[in-house]
Structure 1
Amino acid sequence: MALGFLVYLAWSLHASLGEVLSQTNGIYLVASVFFWIGAHLVSPFLSALSLSRQHQVISYETAFRIHARNIIARYIPGGVWHTVGRVADFSDRGLSPRRIAGFVFLENSLAVSITLALGGASVWYFYGDGWGIIGAIGFFAGLIGLVMSRFIVNRWVVSGSEKISFAIYTGCIVAVGFFWAFAVAAFLLYLHAFPGWALSVSWLQIGGAYLLAWGLGFLAVFAPQGVGVFEAVLANLISDSLPLATTAVLISGFRLIMLCADTAVWFASRPIFSRRR
């Protein structure tokens, strides 16, 4: 339904969209794709760190191959199949269900905690009442998530030698932080590709708004991958020179950047799979 509305808006606003798109700078779009590819290269560090123990180490190469070979499953409706595919592959390697469950929990909790904390702090600082209050709530909720995630995993998910040390947990936070740094850079480059889209807000504001919008979209479990929710929240936060609907449609175009990067990683890694097989 969300995609249908976005397509309808794009069709009904084709005149104003055409004016903005006519000045598109393709170099920035290509750079945006490469930065999202960089995010994919960083992402496997989290699984390699959180799943490795002294008696069984998961290398970065293994984590990347599992990440890349399942990446196309992100586009199966439901939004969870990339995770399901990786869980199956890690299980085939003899990892215990509890350790895998701990990784899945950390991957999701750290993503939403970091985006809410950083994005919420930025929105709280730059915006007044309304969105500023939402940003403050997101900031404190994100901080609580960062403090509690390791405790929850060690208390209720894993036990004994499979517990996650503070050093490993810190490394996981750093890995997720770098992933979102690449993601924000990719989005800013995407916006820079449209010189006709004059934004009066700063790049720091946009980066924070992007993170908060993604975090809120993640929490909206009724919308796979936050489709519609992410675009609506971010458009409300950065829309000024263009109508809200036009801004939302332009933001939704960033998903095409993600699709191009995902496809590139999947195809580029196919020879690796063939050799390993």
Structure 2
Amino acid sequence: MGQHIASAESADASARRSGRGPRWWLVRGALVVALGLLVLALASQWNDVRDSFRLLTVGSVVASGVATILAVGTTVLSWRALLAGLGAELPLRAAVRIFFVGQIGKYIPGSVWPVLAQMELSRDYGISRPKAASASLVVLALAVPSGGLAAAITLPFVSADALASYWWALAAVPVFAVLLYPSVLSRLLALAFRLLRRAPLDEPLTLRPIAAGAGWLLVSFCWYGLATWLLVRDLDPEVGGGRLALLSVGAYALAWTAGFLVLVVPAGAGVREAVLVLALAPAVAGGPATLVALVARLLATVADLVWAGVGVALRRRGAIAMSPEAGMEDPEPGAQAERTTDQLPDTATRR
């Protein structure tokens, strides 16, 4: 009996040292489920558009796909800037692996799964859960004022009806802007960690990393706008030139913001397409606009799959194995929350 107890205790200790406790398996299992849902979404979206694909040129679809991949890829720079603002600098290679492998969790209903996955994956690089969670939550929150700002600047000149119908998406912009002001954000995060009985952040976010994060998201929305423009121009739009470019950026930004604010569907499915169709109405009729919305959704799903594959490939090529210290639970208030840089394995600091 004593041997069985000792063996169980030894196994528990080994699991704690390796970091492969119940939470580790829960997150990895959720990511496998999310990957399956992503593939199913991809198959379903292809069935929706394959009969109408002949209306678009191959060159435009490929170019739009590349722009979408760049749009999705740019978001990791926002997350990395926020993490650096919290005193946790990551090599770009590590940031790509953590962020994009975790991001496939968004295909599970609810917004919590990507954050949980990124929290767990960040520990492989000695970054505490509070810092990883803070960066992930703030980059999500920043997307609302960033997307809303892009829509507010462009759409009044080209698609006022869309703004009138989805004014509530823009109404959230000043609310999120106030919540993301450094002094307000620091208090909110401190309260959250106190309620969770976790150590507070040792370096509160300042305006500079928040502004940098918002800037990268604005760049991402511009890439999305380019991807949309490349598709719309194939459909004989009624407007052209700079007006069509403004419409494409604003339409996608408004659609993304509205889809994000509806939390009950995974990755804004359905909501984003409906808003995009309405916003594109000044340029193309409902049928062609629906095709653009469905192809844009398909390309965004492909981009998620591409970046998740890149993240997995980077892990295979040399991401660190978790050390005993990284596998330990985050300390309670008053304990040391972070390992110092010189405690990280060499590969964690390699660029």
Normalising TM by the smaller chain, what interval?
Answer: 0.7 to 0.9
Between 1:27-36 and 1:132-141, the stretch displaced more is 132-141
Other-structure match for 1:175: 216
Between 1:112-121 and 1:63-72, the stretch displaced more is 63-72
Q: TM-score scaled to structure 2, two decimals?
A: 0.64
Q: 1:227 to 1:124 in 2, by over 3 A?
A: same
Question: Which string of whole-angstrom CA distances, capped at 9 and with x for unpartnered residues, describes residues 204-250 of structure 1?
Answer: 12321211111111111222211111111121222367653553244
Shift, 1:54, TM fit: 7.7
In structure 2, what residue type is equivalent to 1:200? Answer: E
| Contact 1:117–1:143 under 8 Å retained in 2 | no
How many percent of aligned residue pairs carry the same amino acid?
Answer: 20
Q: 1:66 to 1:143 in 2, by over 3 A?
A: same
| Contact 1:91–1:97 under 8 Å retained in 2 | yes
Task: Output aligned runs, 1:24-39, within 5 Å.
Answer: 24-39=56-71
Other-structure match for 1:120: 152
Shift, 1:119, TM fit: 0.7
Say which SS state the counterpart of residue 162 (structure 1) adopts: coil
165, 177, 185: which one pairs with 1:146?
177
Distance 2:64 2:223 in 1: 9
In structure 1, what residue type is equivalent to 2:57? Answer: N
C-alpha RMSD of the superposition: 3.1
Q: Does 1:105 align with 2:141?
A: no
Distance 1:138 1:173 in 2: 17
Other-structure match for 1:161: 202
In structure 1, what residue type is equivalent to 2:222? Answer: A
Question: Which string of whole-angstrom CA distances, capped at 9 and with x for unpartnered residues, describes residues 40-93 of structure 1?
Answer: 332222222212258642232221121233344444455653333212112444
Say which SS state the counterpart of residue 22 (structure 1) adopts: helix
75, 84, 95: which one pairs with 1:63?
95
Q: TM-score scaled to structure 1, two decimals?
A: 0.79
Task: Output aligned runs, 1:177-256, within 5 Å.
Answer: 177-192=218-233, 195=234, 197-201=235-239, 202-239=244-281, 244=286, 247-256=289-298
Shift, 1:254, TM fit: 1.5
| Contact 2:105–2:117 under 8 Å retained in 1 | yes
Which structure has the bigger radius of gyration? 2
Aligned length: 262
Question: Which string of whole-angstrom CA distances, capped at 9 and with x for unpartnered residues, describes residues 130-163 of structure 1?
Answer: 5444566644542442343133321120456320
Q: 1:246 to 1:188 in 2, by over 3 A?
A: closer
| Contact 1:120–1:136 under 8 Å retained in 2 | no
Between 1:130-139 and 1:113-122, the stretch displaced more is 130-139
Q: 1:107 to 1:127 in 2, by over 3 A?
A: same
Distance 2:294 2:183 in 1: 36
Q: 1:225 to 1:160 in 2, by over 3 A?
A: closer
Return 5+ residue gaps in structure 1 as ranges. Answer: none
Between 1:79-88 and 1:113-122, the stretch displaced more is 79-88
Q: Does 1:41 align with 2:79?
A: no
Q: 1:42 to 1:237 in 2, by over 3 A?
A: closer
| Contact 1:122–1:205 under 8 Å retained in 2 | yes
Distance 1:55 1:241 in 2: 46
| Contact 2:73–2:307 under 8 Å retained in 1 | no
Q: 1:118 to 1:136 in 2, by over 3 A?
A: farther
| Contact 1:110–1:173 under 8 Å retained in 2 | yes
Q: 1:241 to 1:61 in 2, by over 3 A?
A: closer
Say which SS state the counterpart of residue 161 (structure 1) adopts: coil
Distance 1:164 1:152 in 2: 10
Distance 1:124 1:48 in 2: 33
Return 5+ residue gaps in structure 2 as ranges. Answer: 1-40, 191-199, 320-351
Between 1:226-235 and 1:175-184, the stretch displaced more is 175-184
Distance 2:88 2:264 in 1: 37
